[in-house]
Structure 1
Amino acid sequence: MNQPIILITGASQGIGAATAKLVAEEGFIVIINYRTNAKAALDVEKDIRKKGGIAHCIQADISQPKQVVDLFKKIQTKCGAISALVNSAGILSTQSRFIDTEPERWKKIFQTNVFGTMHCCQEAFKHMAISQGGSGGTIVNLSSLASIYGSPNEYVDYAASKGAIDSFTKGFALEVAGDGIRVNAVRPGLIYTKMHAEGGEARRVDRLGPNLPLKRGGQPEEVAQAILWLVSDKSSYTTAGFIDVGGGR
């Protein structure tokens, strides 16, 4: 039996890296996509190979449509058609009230978080869809609980991008269900990743985590477990769904 191939965007760190390592242990051939941090991506690949897994790093900026097309062509040439996609790549900007932000910031966030995810899903369809000669597949989009709560005074534009991902996930899932493709989303809450430092507050999870029902922030590996379930056959009757991993929020 051929090993399933999974593409994980933004897999050099955080939730993407944790997911790459976990699914490799379950027998997936892992394509580690990264934008700029080649060293971090190679470290993830090395960790997977040390445990007997198979992984390959491929650079691409998913905010650029041509690079997305080229990414999928490289995967097809190197490994074959993917059967799973995890859209983990995402960005945010420094904490700010929305009224103090500029359109260029919104465009940059949406270009990666929304349009990048949509481009990857469109290309994945060509690999997976029964109507295109594929065998079906699974897609998991990384949303955020910010899509529900809005992140006022911090990341309203980021929250809006994740709201778009929620709507897209639902609509796309219903369109492609008949082609053997399941599409779901995971909405993490306060998770210990470097993204908070990129937003200007490295200890944000420490500050807010104790206020949650579970009294703590979460780890990337805890989100990865939800993603693993959704890309596995164990979730075979689940599509157009959402799993919130947010400590009870």
Structure 2
Amino acid sequence: MSRLTLVTGGTRGIGAAIALRLAADGHDLVLGYARDDRAAEEARLAAEDAGARCAVVRADLTDPDGVDRLFAAAAEHGHLTGVVNNAGATLHIGPLAETPPGIVAATIDLNLTAALLVARAAARALGTSYGGPGGVLVNISSGAATLGAPGEYVQYAAAKAGVDALTHGLAQEVAADGVRVVGVAPGIVRTTIHADAGDPGRTDRVGPRVPLGRVGEPSEVADAVGWLMSDEASYVTGTTLRVAGGR
């Protein structure tokens, strides 16, 4: 059976690396993105160069209608067999007491509420009782979910802890519906997420403190996602794989 996978936040950073890995594994792709049209076009061309059919769809996942539109657009390309629930951002770096309430709300909205809505849509798109073919949902969490990220982004860590609970609970709900639900929790990874939040030097500062002595690369997270979506992981569900260099 051909594989068609939707990757949210699939055109930059870890999401773009996941897209490339899945393209190499024979997946056709639909990549969701928020606003960077240039990055979306570059990601599409890279996936096609790797052998995939690839479409990009601009959608605001903090709007329930945006989630519906993204999945409707994906369905135009066939039956989804996989979803990577990757879109997220820290948005801010600083102690919780100094984080504006609007930033706290926006962080939860993007990293947890939107992730829940994407997971809900994935269960309906993939589940056999809804006419889907079965498949795999991968939720991208964070090592911060267990470390707490004190002094940096406690609200982001709390949202990602919710994503871990989502993975564990939803996996049990949909196991009989032909759907595996798994998670990947990256540690500090070399992407623009840190600069986007106002701390471009974070990777250089934190990397040496990781037990393996360096930051991770997006491709290393993508390799974990590729394995979890493969038949080699057919007995893996309800768990989150940590890719964090020992932290």
Q: Same fold (TM over 0.5)?
A: yes
Matching residue within 78, 85, 88 for 1:90: 88
Q: Distance in 1 between matches of 2:99 and 2:70?
A: 32
Q: Distance in 1 between matches of 2:187 and 2:220?
A: 11
Q: Distance in 2 between matches of 1:150 and 1:175?
A: 27
Q: What's the counterpart of residue 140 of structure 2?
A: 142
Q: Distance in 2 between matches of 1:220 and 1:142?
A: 12
2:148–2:158 CA contact under 8 A, matched in 1: yes
RMSD of aligned Cα (Å)? 1.0
Q: Is residue 2:222 matched to residue 1:231?
A: no
Deviates most, 236-245 or 49-58? 49-58
Cα shift at 1:109: 0.8
- Normalised by the length of structure 1, the TM-score is 0.97
Partner secondary structure for residue 31 of structure 2 = strand
Deviates most, 45-54 or 232-241? 45-54
Cα shift at 1:234: 1.0
Q: What's the counterpart of residue 187 of structure 1?
A: 185
Q: Distance in 2 between matches of 1:182 and 1:43?
A: 30
Cα shift at 1:75: 1.3
Q: Is residue 2:220 matched to residue 1:222?
A: yes
Q: What's the counterpart of residue 4 of structure 2?
A: 5
Q: Give the alignment of 1:29-40 within 5 angstroms.
A: 29-40=28-39
Q: Distance in 2 between matches of 1:141 and 1:242?
A: 8
Deviates most, 42-51 or 29-38? 42-51
Q: What's the counterpart of residue 76 of structure 1?
A: 75
| Alignment size in residue pairs | 247
Q: What's the counterpart of residue 14 of structure 2?
A: 15
- Normalised by the length of structure 2, the TM-score is 0.97
Q: What's the counterpart of residue 27 of structure 1?
A: 26
* Percentage of matched positions with identical amino acids: 38
Cα shift at 1:107: 1.2
Q: Give the alignment of 1:67-216 within 5 angstroms.
A: 67-77=66-76, 79-216=77-214
The one-letter amino acid paired with 2:11 is S
2:182–2:239 CA contact under 8 A, matched in 1: yes
CA displacement, residues 65-116 of structure 1 (integer Å, 9 cap, x when unaligned) = 0011111111112x11211000110021221111112322111111111111
Q: What's the counterpart of residue 243 of structure 1?
A: 241
Q: Note the residue ranges of structure 2 that are not aligned, 5 or more in a row.
A: none
Cα shift at 1:52: 2.7
